């Protein structure tokens, strides 16, 4: 009986350790999709609002243009990859070529290879893929945030944000903590489905899984509490009409201290 209890404790501890290793393997942001390193390389991955692999070549060009950029060239994609841009989705890039950047070899992605996984120049431009854009003019915004507490603002705040901005903030606090977001100010071009300008929040370290909500207009959104120790915020503005922007505060809270009635900000 006692042996079983011991064994169980051991397995449980091992499980926790493994979980910890897994979470911290996010370090440097290279283990996951759509890690935003705009400041370093200007390259970013987009998929259609309809989902993965939905863009023809013509539509791919339009997506990048809509966001103020252009299709990335092979060299731009490679430069981004060299500083950790790792995405497991094939996308169009310059001159009708398709591929994706792999930093870390994995069985599920990139056939175990490292580099630009290149599907070559596609003869059939009606094929549907994601896209890799390049936008060197986007204001510096976003990044990987690890502080336990911090204010996040739209680019240029308290000035109005500009057209054609795109920012990703990936928040990662300590294991065992959760992230509590409180909006302080919010004024983003209003539009029925928030298709023009918006702030999106994801309960994950990428902008693929864990979608929480898309916000626009001038109502202050409610507080948001992550389920784990990571969160992603994405801000995008289109080619016309701006707004006052937004300001929010996030705080790391110990998961064990979380209760529904508590106000962590006081």
The answer to whether residue 126 forms part of the interface with ligand NAG (CB under 6 A) is yes
How many residues does this entry show for the chain? 266
Between vectors from CA 167 to CA 184 and to CA 28, what angle results, nearest 5°? 105
Place of tokens 């500009």: 162
Task: Tokens for 235, please give them.
Answer: 């801000």
Q: How far is the CB of 46 from ligand NAG (least distance, A)?
A: 19
The answer to whether residue 189 forms part of the interface with Ca ion (CB under 5 A) is yes
List, in order, residues 6 or more apart from 213 with CB less than 8 Å away. 200, 201, 221, 224
Q: Is 31 exposed, middle or buried (0-12, 13-18, 19+ CB in 10 A)?
A: middle
Please give the residues from 245 up to 264 whose contact with ligand NAG meets the rule CB under 6 A: 254, 257
Contact pick of 127, 160, 163, 223 for ligand NAG (by CB under 6 A): 127
- To which H or E segment does residue 15 belong? helix 2-24
With respect to ligand NAG, which residue has the nearer C-beta, 98 or 199? 98
Q: Identify which range of 121-129, 144-152, 162-170, 182-190 contacts ligand NAG by CB under 6 A.
A: 121-129
Which option in ligand NAG, Ca ion, none does residue 126 bind, with CB closer than 5 to 8 A by kind? Answer: ligand NAG
Contact pick of 67, 197, 203, 206 for Ca ion (by CB under 5 A): 197
Rounded Cα distance, 255 and 229, in Å: 9
Q: How far is the CB of 97 from ligand NAG (least distance, A)?
A: 16
For ligand NAG, the binding residues (CB under 6 A) are 124, 126-127, 254, 257
């Amino acid at each position: 009986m006692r042996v079983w209890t011991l064994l169980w404790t051991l397995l449980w501890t091992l499980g926790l350790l493994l979980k910890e290793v897994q979470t911290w393997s996010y370090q440097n942001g290279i283990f996951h999709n759509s890690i935003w390193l705009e400041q370093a390389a200007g390259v970013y991955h987009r998929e259609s609002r309809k989902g993965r692999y939905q863009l023809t070549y013509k539509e791919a060009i339009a997506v990048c243009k809509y966001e103020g950029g252009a299709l990335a060239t092979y060299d731009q994609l490679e430069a981004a990859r060299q500083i950790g841009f790792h995405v497991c989705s094939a996308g169009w890039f310059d001159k009708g070529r398709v591929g994706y950047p792999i930093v870390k070899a994995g069985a599920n992605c990139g056939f175990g290879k490292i580099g630009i996984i290149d599907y070559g120049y596609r003869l059939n431009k009606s094929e549907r893929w994601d896209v890799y854009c390049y936008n060197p003019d986007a204001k510096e915004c976003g990044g990987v945030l690890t502080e336990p507490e911090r204010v996040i603002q739209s680019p240029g705040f308290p000035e109005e944000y500009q057209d054609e901005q795109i920012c990703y903030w990936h928040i990662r606090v300590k294991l065992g903590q959760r992230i509590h977001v409180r909006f302080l100010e919010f004024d983003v071009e209003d539009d029925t489905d928030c298709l023009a300008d918006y702030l999106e929040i994801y309960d994950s370290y990428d902008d693929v899984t864990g979608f929480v909500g898309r916000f626009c207009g001038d109502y202050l959104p409610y507080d948001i509490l992550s389920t784990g120790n990571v969160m992603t915020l994405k801000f995008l503005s289109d080619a016309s009409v701006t707004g006052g922007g937004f300001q929010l505060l996030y705080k790391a809270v110990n998961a064990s201290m979380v209760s529904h009635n508590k106000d962590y900000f006081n």
